[in-house]
Amino acid sequence: MKKNDQEITLLNSDNVSNKDIEKNNYKTTNVNILLNRVRLDKKRTFKKRFIFSIFLVTVISSLIVYFVI
């Protein structure tokens, strides 16, 4: 009779430990990865703004040259 009781308690303890393991499995992201992503995003936006500004200056200067001459 004792063996049956012992098996039940062992099974119950396994279930509890499995639940604890599942709760502790959080997805974490490395902070360095996030910071690198922010840096890359900043570089991209700077490049886009720079290219757009050069394009805008070129268009405006070409229009000025066209209408003045």
pLDDT tens-digit series, residues 13-30: 555 555 555 556 666 778
Distance CA(57)–CA(3), nearest Å, equals: 87
- The pLDDT value given to residue 29: 73
Distance between first and last Cα of the chain: 108
The 3-state DSSP composition of the chain as helix, strand, coil percent (nearest 5) reads 90, 0, 10
Paired tokens of 35: 């910071």
Task: Give 42's pLDDT tier (boundaries 50, 70, 90).
Answer: very high
The model carries a pTM of 0.52
